[in-house]
Structure 1
Amino acid sequence: MDIIFFHFFGSLKDPVTNTEKQAFQRDLKEPSYSMAKRKYSSTSSFVSICIFAVSCNIISASTEDGFIANYSRTTRYTVPKNIPSRTTVLDLSHNQIKEIRIFDFRSLPKLQVLMLFDNQIRVLNFSVFQYNEDLQYLDLSHNNLQALFGFPVPSLRHLDVSYNNDIKMTFCSDSSTTWKLEYFGLSTRRMQKPDFCVLAHLQVETLFLGLEDLSEYNSTFLPAFNMKNLRIALPNIRRFPILSNLDLNVTERLELSNIQGDQIKDLGTFLSKLNKNGRLLNLTVTNIELGWRDIVNVFTVVWKSTIRYFHIYNVTVLEFDDAVFSNIDTSLQALTIEQTRLGTVSIDQNIVYKTFSDMNIPALTISDSGILFMHCPSEPSRFTYLCFSNNTLTDILFQNCNNLPLLETLILQRNYLKDLTKVSLMTNTMKSLKYLDVSHNFLQYDSENKCHWADNMVELNLSSNILSELVFRCLPVNVKILDLHENHISRVPKEMLKLNNLEELNLAFNKLTALPGCDHFRSLRLLNIENNSVLSQSSEFFESCQYVQRLKGGNNPFKCSCELREFINLGKQGSVELVGWPDSYMCEKPEYVRGTPLANFHISKLSCNVTLLVAVILIITVVLGVAVCIVCLRFDIPWYLKMIWQWTQVKRRNWKSQQLNTIQFHAFVSYSEHDSDWVKTVLIPNLEKEDGSIRICQHERNFVAGKSIVENIIDCVEKSYKSIFVLSPNFVQSEWCHYELYFAHHKLFSEDVYGLILVLLEPIPTYIIPARYHKLKALMAKRTYLEWPKEKSKHGLFWANLRAAIQIVLPNNEEMEEF
């Protein structure tokens, strides 16, 4: 026999005791699991959540349904006053409260959970809760209760009065009192009829019976329990044969704790006499001390019983021998062994491994036991479910094992697996394997060796390892659900296996910097990339991931810029369900938008598309150019620009030559050549008299030879006091008349005087006046012109008005003669 000191059941050190919070979480997940003095809850999920919040030392917190108030461990002697009236969960545990008064809870109509355990309460009248019609959970354990009386609240579902003194329950005699509880906890020191009379009037699903401190026992008073779930903490005094006398008919789940010494034999006796027609299917034993031979004996009895599910928690193996377990036909479906420790330094692991590997049951769980190795079954096994979590198994597990043909689920999380290639080889012979969990190990893959997975595997959990993107070259091709969260993956490479059946991919808590593409898994429906380093989207994602229905992408340091525009629109449009949108999606960069929800960040498509932006600018430029051209042509702007340029040039030359223009003429006359006869024979002779008091500037006699026409026009306009324009249809058709009118306009605007005199020789229809004569149109519209009368009788008045308009004393008359 090989004696190995590093043994199956773990090290010699005592296990670390779980905290109350861990214990409560365990109770929620494993309803059949309990310890002797642990609190249990079978009430609604709201109550469970509230208790969990209080167990985490939440002082006060609001919930959707009410308010949680925690006064635990505050050295109180009475129930505090001024508790918020909307309180639904109240924790007063671990204090020194001795009395509950009638008015203590009157102001709490919404109270649902009340924890008063570990106080010094002696007497309780249920009438103190008459104003708490919603009370469901009441824990009075670990007090000094001696008496309970009154009628309980009808809504009460969980009542724990365990670990008190021997309680006198005065309502036992009232047969009309029927409780409908889901959980009831009770302890006693003496096994007498009055202690259990209350059980006859209870309709309870789960009963906890604490008998550790039992000092007096009479088997005739042990009741026939009629509840579905029964939990018993056995007496510390081993001579009380509780198990031998236990009779169960309707119980479906039984949990026994504190099994030591001779009680192991009592357990065997109890199991061996189980009624074949009984309903007991689920047996749990906790806090048990026994030797290897006792384990073999218990297994033998259980294998022969009607038990379907057998759970062992917190077991200590005191000694080891060479007892061998022989498999027999059994109705047992699942065996669970958790939290095992060893009280001896020697053990033959071959016997242990062979015992468990050859069990002819469908499901086996051995966790928190320090397993180093497990044999391949010696013949084809019935195992469909194996769980060896939180042990010390290595890569040599089940190598070349051909005797697990029915295995569908294999859980190996929290072990010492390191080589992904060897893990794949382990599964290669498991033809029925569908689910594999190897999370929380030390797995790596170097891409040098090929992987050989089970062909039928549909779900693979590789989370919490140290895998890189090379893992995508070592995956089962038929996998549908793949969990790779919390690894070292920085990208999804293009060189990878095609996973055409993959529907769910979890890449959370990795090192991704961009959304991955889906070229190699076209059936993907759910993608999880939460808590990565994703800054922006990738065009590959939108091109290849059209079939993704749900995307978990929150808690990433998004860079809110053009690159993220399509992703933001994805969340706003709702074409893909963004889980956690918009609360979990925040801008991280640039600094000025940090903390801004992506839903509130807006950037236009135009500013993000360079090609489109250039096209829009070009279109706008062309449109503006065309508009400017149209406006220029409509209002003859090029002509005006030309005139401004010529005016500027003349002014510049005059400035350089320091030529000063002084008023030398009373008026400059502008007219069309077609009207020259009237000007020469009528206008000028009537204005210029023989006395020379009025002098008219006429282009034919006053333009200076050698100067351009434009310069002569500008000089004449500048040297004339007024400008007379003889208007007729011929005038508006003359280009030079247009020049003269423009420069006269310019002088008018620059000198701020009314220097234009319009003489209407013939009527001019407004529609024939060119657009550039806008000033002429305005002046004519205001009738500021002189009209040449056809009647001779009115000519005198006409000439008088015209002479008056231009009459002025000109300076330097001698110089005018020289001009």
Structure 2
Amino acid sequence: MPKSAVPFLTFTTFLMCAQCYKYPLLENSDIVTNYSYKSLTSVPKNLSLRTTVLDLSHNNIQSLEATDFGYLLELKVLNMSHNLITELNASVFDSNIHMEYLDLSNNMLENISSPFPDQLHHLDISSNHFKTLSFCRGLGNLLQLKYLGLGAAQILKSDFEAITHLQLQHVFIELNHLLDYQNASLLMLNTNHLHLSLLSNQTCLFDVLFDAVNTSKFLELSNFGKWEAGKEIYKKYILDIASNSRVNRLTMKKLSLPWNILVFILQAIWHSSVESLHLYDFGIQQLIFKIPFNYSNTSMKELFLHNISTEVFLFDQMNLYRLFSEMNIENLTISSCNVLFMPCPLNQSTFQYIDFSNNAITDDIFPNCLTLTKLKTLKLSGNKLQMLSKVSSMTEKMESLEYLDVSRNPLYYNNEDCHWPQSIRELNLASCSLSNSVFQCLPNNIITLNLLSNEISHVPLQITKLENLEYLNLADNRISDLPDCTLFPHLMILNVEYNQIPYPSTESIEKCLSVKLMNIGHNPFHCFCEIRKLISAEISSPGKMIGWPDAYVCERPDNLNGVKLKDFYMPEIYCNIFILVPVIIVPTILGLTIIFVLCKYFDVPWFIKMIGQWTRTKHRTRRSKRGYQELEREFAFHAFVSYSEHDASWVKNIFLPNVEDMNDSLRICQHERNFEPGKSIVENIINCIEKSYKSIFILSPHFVQSEWCHYELYFAHHKLYSENTDNLILILLEPIPQYLIPSRYYKLKALMTQRTYLEWPKEKNKHGLFWANLKAAISVNISDLEQDRSCSLPSESS
């Protein structure tokens, strides 16, 4: 097998071949050893006894000895291609009875005397230095052989007589060194697929091709180089080969032909037995010009062109494209050929399948086309289509179109009218950068819709329902929740993997219950309470989530990153409000209620208020700038008490005894015992307030009705602001509604609003705290004051 034609078969290739030949794939227990590209000069001796697959390709090994593989009794696959092997020991493979695959291609073998294992399915000894194929006479016992690779300088009929009975599926013959070919030699082979490569000797060319087209129904020709132009004898040979052919499928790779020869060959094949023609990596020589072509009387059903290039770029492209557009065949594929456009067939076309993928086609393809009425499949993937509305208009008259692929095009939609054929059932719009608006331009009857890798963030609710849609692929977009499945009443498969869904909403999951299969994997799942609905959906319908559980992994919170959803657990109590309320919230509310009732019953707020007031009073006392010596020098009394005569009983029987009992030296100025006779009441009031460190006012509804109390309050208030002192104490004996306070008592209103006052509690258990607050408020020490510094006679202040 030549370097430029068929790549060497590595282990991966073997697996592909094994699958083609329906061989079972290697099991996980098999031992695979790869020593390729190691510059080895001999087979390693330290291989495992259980080795089943051994790759020693691309080394410098020159010979294979009997002991090289004798101990590898389980060896199935051996690749020795691309070495320098010149000889094989006669018994080199005697112990390898289980060998199925052997590749000795691209070496320097001149002869083979060793027998091959009887169980071989694949044997490749092409691209060596064989002069003849006489070694084929020793291959007759390989009854399991399916693939055979050969090559020699001379090919004779007698060489193939020993293998005529083998039921070969694929025969590859490398003809690079062919010098002599005996006619009818290839006809001795019994194979389904004949592959000829690297025929450089044009003397043998047509003899080999004449037999090749009669050897197998599947013929593959590759690396035949450039054909010389201008030789009319070519045409006779080509016609003879075509007219005598029994080939149904013809594949040609890596061939370069003049344009006129290519058209002539195509015309000859057109009238031959060939039903499927595949051309890969073709080069067109010389100028392309218009050549008449007879499209009638053909067996051709499929033409496949891939990677066709031209050496001349300045030509009338219509001469090239019109040749293909008028073909009366069923299937036409022209891919990776830089096609710019394709004219509409002039007459009613027989095309049922057209594939123009990976070209440079624009919106001008098939303009106003009315002749593609039988077309069922149209593939325009990987081109330069832009307007989705023009794509719909292009297909509108294709009344049989069922499948349309316009993926990997720079499509956009700007609210133009869309007109699709009613017959379309499958639409592929993958990788087109389309937004949500695409749902306004979709055929109503589609069954399969592929919107993979676009810019869709959600499915608009305003779209017309796609009543027949069964498969919707929205993978790799920007969707944050499942679409509303009620828009697609017959949806069976939904794919939204690789989006931005943290968790499907409960509503969206419930709306998609009728969907048979969903792929929501590979999304950035947030593993909180909301994700439990998705997990429950999989538990209730096992197998519904495609890719479960490996593709369903938590991303957030960070401590759960990488945890599979199947392993995620959150207690019901954290997520169910109906459990949370009775278990946590109700006891909390009940506890708070009990605390509130107890506080209310024991009047805790009042106690707290009083304690706070006592603390502030003590703090103010400590910070007072007036010391004991100043008090002794200026004041005769600790406090002056002002009250209404209606409250005298409380003052005399409760207030004074308790206050004076707190400290024997505490002196209270009371008008009944301390006012000086002979002086006016106002003068006594002023003198007592001036001689008292503090003024205590017993407030009650009666207090605000007393004129003298008003005077006393006025003078005390005046002293408060004139001397900038904090020596005013208010005691609220009974609550005073604001409406009872006369307007002239605006000072009292201001004081009660701005200053803290002591409330006389009715409950006895609160009296102790009341007296402590009062003592802290008075909190001065006036001892050794002279007894005669007093007011001698009381005055009525009612």
The TM-score with structure 2 as length reference comes to 0.68
Q: Secondary structure at the match of 2:318?
A: helix
Percent sequence identity is: 37
The aligned counterpart of 1:430 is: 398
Query: How far is 1:47 from its partner?
Result: 5.3
- Provide closer, same or farther for how the CA distance between residues 543 and 439 of structure 1 changes in structure 2, counting only shifts above 3 A: same
The TM-score with structure 1 as length reference comes to 0.66
Once the two structures are superposed, residues 387-440 of structure 1 have per-residue CA deviations (whole angstroms, 9 ceiling, x without a partner) of: 001100011111321110000001111111111111111111111111111111
Q: For structure 1, which segment, 203-212 or 401-410, has the greater mean C-alpha deviation from structure 2 after superposition?
A: 203-212
Structure 1 residue corresponding to 2:346, chosen from 349, 354, 378? 378
Query: How far is 1:113 from its partner?
Result: 2.4
The alignment yields a C-alpha RMSD, in angstroms, of 3.4
The aligned counterpart of 2:102 is: 138
Once the two structures are superposed, residues 215-254 of structure 1 have per-residue CA deviations (whole angstroms, 9 ceiling, x without a partner) of: 3344475654331111112521323233454265451100
On the 8 A contact 1:408/1:435 being kept in 2, the answer is yes
Structure 2 residue corresponding to 1:92, chosen from 56, 61, 68? 56
Q: For structure 1, which segment, 115-124 or 381-390, has the greater mean C-alpha deviation from structure 2 after superposition?
A: 115-124
Once the two structures are superposed, residues 240-284 of structure 1 have per-residue CA deviations (whole angstroms, 9 ceiling, x without a partner) of: 233454265451100112343259978865664469897521011
Query: How far is 1:535 from its partner?
Result: 0.8
Query: How far is 1:321 from its partner?
Result: 2.9
User: Which amino acid in the other structure matches residue 509 of structure 1?
Assistant: D
Structure 1 residue corresponding to 2:125, chosen from 149, 161, 186? 161
Once the two structures are superposed, residues 28-61 of structure 1 have per-residue CA deviations (whole angstroms, 9 ceiling, x without a partner) of: xxxxxx973345799998454899xxxxxxxxx9
The aligned counterpart of 2:6 is: 37
Matched, 1:286 2:253: yes
Once the two structures are superposed, residues 490-537 of structure 1 have per-residue CA deviations (whole angstroms, 9 ceiling, x without a partner) of: 222222231111111111111122222212112111111111222111
The aligned counterpart of 1:177 is: 141
Query: How far is 1:324 from its partner?
Result: 2.5
- How far apart in 2 are the matches of 1:168 and 1:325? 43
- Provide closer, same or farther for how the CA distance between residues 622 and 490 of structure 1 changes in structure 2, counting only shifts above 3 A: closer
The aligned counterpart of 1:305 is: 272
- 5 Å-filtered alignment, 1:6-45, equals 36-39=5-8
On the 8 A contact 1:238/1:261 being kept in 2, the answer is no
User: Which amino acid in the other structure matches residue 211 of structure 2?
Assistant: L
The aligned counterpart of 1:408 is: 376
- Provide closer, same or farther for how the CA distance between residues 67 and 509 of structure 1 changes in structure 2, counting only shifts above 3 A: farther
- Provide closer, same or farther for how the CA distance between residues 175 and 382 of structure 1 changes in structure 2, counting only shifts above 3 A: closer
- How far apart in 1 are the matches of 2:306 and 2:161? 36
Structure 1 residue corresponding to 2:550, chosen from 583, 586, 589? 583
- Provide closer, same or farther for how the CA distance between residues 490 and 132 of structure 1 changes in structure 2, counting only shifts above 3 A: farther
Query: How far is 1:202 from its partner?
Result: 3.8
Q: Secondary structure at the match of 1:295?
A: helix
Matched, 1:152 2:116: yes
Matched, 1:598 2:565: yes
Structure 1 residue corresponding to 2:32, chosen from 58, 65, 68? 68
Structure 2: stretches of 5+ with no match in the other structure: 602-798
Matched, 1:123 2:87: yes
- Provide closer, same or farther for how the CA distance between residues 588 and 539 of structure 1 changes in structure 2, counting only shifts above 3 A: same
Higher relative contact order (CA 8 A, sep 6+): 1
- How far apart in 1 are the matches of 2:536 and 2:522? 18
On the 8 A contact 1:148/1:170 being kept in 2, the answer is no
Query: How far is 1:576 from its partner?
Result: 5.4
- Provide closer, same or farther for how the CA distance between residues 62 and 150 of structure 1 changes in structure 2, counting only shifts above 3 A: closer
User: Which amino acid in the other structure matches residue 223 of structure 2?
Assistant: N
User: Which amino acid in the other structure matches residue 6 of structure 2?
Assistant: K
Once the two structures are superposed, residues 546-588 of structure 1 have per-residue CA deviations (whole angstroms, 9 ceiling, x without a partner) of: 1111111221111001111110122233355111111111100
The aligned counterpart of 1:349 is: 317
Once the two structures are superposed, residues 111-144 of structure 1 have per-residue CA deviations (whole angstroms, 9 ceiling, x without a partner) of: 3322111101112257433333332221111100
- How far apart in 2 are the matches of 1:365 and 1:346? 24
- 5 Å-filtered alignment, 1:356-375, equals 356-375=324-343
The aligned counterpart of 2:473 is: 506
Residue correspondences, number: 588
Structure 1 residue corresponding to 2:217, chosen from 247, 252, 266? 252
On the 8 A contact 2:52/2:77 being kept in 1, the answer is yes
- How far apart in 2 are the matches of 1:92 and 1:427? 55
- How far apart in 1 are the matches of 2:579 and 2:7? 69
Matched, 1:452 2:419: yes
User: Which amino acid in the other structure matches residue 303 of structure 1?
Assistant: W
The aligned counterpart of 1:242 is: 207
Once the two structures are superposed, residues 732-754 of structure 1 have per-residue CA deviations (whole angstroms, 9 ceiling, x without a partner) of: xxxxxxxxxxxxxxxxxxxxxxx
Q: Secondary structure at the match of 1:146?
A: coil
- Provide closer, same or farther for how the CA distance between residues 40 and 46 of structure 1 changes in structure 2, counting only shifts above 3 A: closer
The aligned counterpart of 2:537 is: 570
On the 8 A contact 1:42/1:158 being kept in 2, the answer is no
User: Which amino acid in the other structure matches residue 584 of structure 1?
Assistant: A
On the 8 A contact 1:522/1:545 being kept in 2, the answer is no
Structure 2 residue corresponding to 1:398, chosen from 348, 366, 378? 366
- Provide closer, same or farther for how the CA distance between residues 112 and 481 of structure 1 changes in structure 2, counting only shifts above 3 A: farther
Query: How far is 1:335 from its partner?
Result: 0.3
Structure 1: stretches of 5+ with no match in the other structure: 1-19, 24-33, 52-60, 629-637, 643-819
- 5 Å-filtered alignment, 1:620-631, equals none
User: Which amino acid in the other structure matches residue 317 of structure 1?
Assistant: I
Q: Secondary structure at the match of 2:191?
A: coil
Q: Secondary structure at the match of 2:54?
A: strand
Q: Secondary structure at the match of 1:338?
A: strand
Q: Secondary structure at the match of 1:423?
A: helix
User: Which amino acid in the other structure matches residue 213 of structure 1?
Assistant: H
- How far apart in 1 are the matches of 2:543 and 2:582? 31
Query: How far is 1:605 from its partner?
Result: 3.3
The aligned counterpart of 2:153 is: 189
On the 8 A contact 2:379/2:404 being kept in 1, the answer is yes
Query: How far is 1:65 from its partner?
Result: 5.0
Matched, 1:420 2:420: no
- How far apart in 2 are the matches of 1:339 and 1:271? 24
- How far apart in 2 are the matches of 1:122 and 1:266? 41
- How far apart in 2 are the matches of 1:417 and 1:343? 27
Matched, 1:387 2:355: yes
Once the two structures are superposed, residues 276-329 of structure 1 have per-residue CA deviations (whole angstroms, 9 ceiling, x without a partner) of: 897521011111111221222112111111111011111110112332323112
Query: How far is 1:595 from its partner?
Result: 0.7
- How far apart in 1 are the matches of 2:134 and 2:263? 47
